[in-house]
Chain A
């Protein structure tokens, strides 16, 4: 394969990974930024989405099974988000360490339950007919599913971005990031905002797991891998922001994919090296607000 085609493949792969990471990390960023809750169970939601895709669709998905899986992950994500909101509410004014211990405990329990239910083997699932092959354009071949993933994930990312930046619901989210007490002082029940953010963030994580299932395959340990990547994206992008994680996710998608193609032995060093470099230059992340609202 010519070098240009290898590079193009790596870059589109990076775009797909980046958008998937953004959908996962957006929820984590909102939950941390708005509610000040460090949710280490976020990776378990992604993994559950991936397992549900395999459990409902089997090794070879069909369009009807994919539709059922979408409904299932949305319902599960909403229920899990509501439950996480209730479980973490008593610790809302406590330290991050206490919140991290609680959500880490939930993540460990979730991982054990998933292992007990689905076993320790890799649960690979293939996309439905029509998305299983490759698309060839001007001699360049690329897996159809990954191309579709770029489209769907881009639509989801755009919807999240538009909701947060352009709607009154998003204004409420951003106001809560800015000053929760003042949101309550204009009459908004903070418990509803909290529940809504947890539900939205969790649904995004389980949906990302469903979309990522044919690429990453459901398996023990995937939750931790995804959680670490999402945390990197959130820390670099800036807590409580949407634009920051989007840019950071797209950056890390390219570092991960192009890095693996160009320097396969150094890919993970490149990832965390980039993290360190960004944090040296911008210790508060790319888009964390400074006092007074300056970026």
Chain B
């Protein structure tokens, strides 16, 4: 096993373990802190996949902003017994176990048998040309108005963010 494989297994085990902690902790603040670990380990997976820009964005937006947002929401919506059982399951939790296990089995089965999923897969060794790194390439794809770029979806995403900001302020305002 080479180094990349070892690092992948370490990160994958921590990732799945902390995700299980998120859904099993009784104290919801502990769940939120385990969520930070999930986001950080996902950034590690992105680094293994040569996606440096996504990894940095993951750390900045998820581990930074979204987690702080969730912790603030927990602080503003305090339940009475936060130590004992602030993150309860509902009565149909066993049904949720069955449903999610079935969904997972279907996904793994489909990834195994689908001809489209496995037919045209490289070994992951393709590299960027020298002088062009990942961030440069993503910047060219997002901003440059060439024949193959994502300028229009990028602009639409800015409108989505604007609407989300205005909507969050309007919904959360005291009246």
Is chain B found bound to chain A in the same assembly?
Answer: no
Instruction: Write the residues of chain A forming the contact surface with B, with a CB cutoff of 8 angstroms.
Output: none
